[in-house]
A and B are shown apart, each in its own frame.
Chain A
Amino acid sequence: MSKLSRPPQGESLGLTNCPTCKFLCHLEQGNCPRCGQAVQSRDRTSVQKSWALLITAAILLFPANLYPITIMTSQGQVRQDTIFSGINHLVHLDLLPIAIILFTASILVPMLKIFGLALYLTAISYRLPISKRTLMAGFHIIEWIGRWSMLDLFVISITAALINMGQIWDAKPAPAATAFALVILLTQLAAKVLDTRLLWDRLESKDDTN
């Protein structure tokens, strides 16, 4: 296979996978014989859709990190925590492992995800000289790890339900929670909607060894 200048793509043989059930279809058939879904070789609008979702998520990342995500009341004293100050607080309480878990899930993963997807989309749109293998490996990681950001929201919901005693002790979510939930949702969608085959079409072998 390495002797071919261009490895065989399904598109050049007139074949494609059904987008829903992955059945091998002929392009001229129009509809998948197994599940009836319309068949097309590439989803060319997927880059735009993905960009749109990603940019929205990137904008929402600011309120998610700058506004408080929880409001804690303890004996009449109200403190508002942003994601970062909450984690900082945990470090001071000597709960370092928990702080690391929360830092990874709610700061590192969303940011790396947005940065990684942006890089990926730029590579498709502007043919960046980055190895496709690296991009693809990164994409697999992004797809897999993205859901873990829900951790923070689950913790908030458990805490808010348990700690609910008015002035003595109280925990409530704050505005950043909604923004944060939307960041997770939108980045997951942006990764899901993207047709990764476009990357391998556009960056031809001159950029990369196969």
Chain B
Amino acid sequence: MKTEVLDKSIVLCRACDLVVRKRALPTGVRALCPRCHTNLYDTPYCSINGMLALCITALVLYFPANFFPVLEMHFLGSIRTTTIAGGAMAVASQGYWVVGIAVLVAAVIAPGLLILSILTQVLIVKYRLKVPFFRNIYKKLLKQHSLLAQLSMLEIYMISIFVSVFQLSDYTDLYFGIGTFCFTMLFIMVIFMQREYDIEHMWSVLDE
């Protein structure tokens, strides 16, 4: 009986296992562990319709961002273009497939799967949470979420494009393609998506 009461009102720090008594928080405030300053919990501000809108926008932008060239190089009259996947393939075809796969996963596959996974989760929460089959899919997706979030590195790719432009602009003329615009927009959408997304809240949907 005593532990039942405990369960509702306390939270354990993920990093140091300290027992902390839960308190109500105003919106937009995070509770930190008093001992090791790890993020403990915050008030959920995740509006499911907003998430859905962000996911669909990101998904629409994903395809042009990956199929149109992100950089165009004009050199001695010839025009070279590259897409994100094209860069990964170029490295892989030289025999450096570890690097190629790392680039492909971090910049193309993981962000794509992340968007699809969040979209599916949102749709299930909105329409099909009561069906056991979809409930199971939902659990499986949530379990994979932190891995996907860790692997997608759109922001780093963004900086890499600018670094490459500065490096090469001494030798040649470089132009941004339409892909760069779509990629930038995709990157902004994903930033907002990850800001709105709260894994603890998504798990707690299952409790109700």
Decide yes or no: A162 and B94 within 8 Å by CB, A22-B203, A26-B3, A157-B87 being known contacts: no
Q: Per-position contact with B for A72-91: 1 when CB-CB < 8 Å, else 0?
A: 00000000000000000010
Main secondary structure of the interface of B (DSSP, over half): helix
Decide yes or no: A147 and B90 within 8 Å by CB, A90-B167, A132-B36, A162-B82 being known contacts: no
B187 CB to nearest chain A CB (Å)? 13
How many pairs of A and B residues are in contact by the CB < 8 Å rule? Answer: 180
B67 on the interface (CB 8 Å rule)? no
Q: Which of B7, B96, B100, B142 has the most CB of A within 10 A?
A: B96
In whole angstroms, what is the CA distance A26 to B150 when docked?
A: 29
In whole angstroms, what is the CA distance A161 to B157 when docked?
A: 15
A155 on the interface (CB 8 Å rule)? yes
B67 CB to nearest chain A CB (Å)? 15
Tell me the B residues contacting A by CB distance below 8 Å.
3, 6-7, 10-12, 14-19, 34-38, 70-71, 73, 75-76, 78, 80, 82, 86-91, 94, 96, 98-100, 102-103, 106-107, 139, 142-143, 150, 153, 156-157, 159-161, 163-164, 166-168, 170-171, 200, 203, 206-207
Query: Assuming A26-B3, A147-B150, A161-B90, what are 15 further A-B pairs, CB within 8 angstroms?
Result: A8-B18, A9-B19, A10-B12, A21-B142, A34-B207, A90-B167, A98-B163, A153-B99, A154-B87, A155-B163, A162-B80, A163-B73, A200-B16, A200-B18, A200-B36
10 cross-chain pairs, A with B, having the tightest CB-CB distances, nearest first: A154-B160, A157-B87, A161-B82, A200-B16, A161-B90, A10-B12, A161-B87, A8-B19, A136-B36, A197-B17
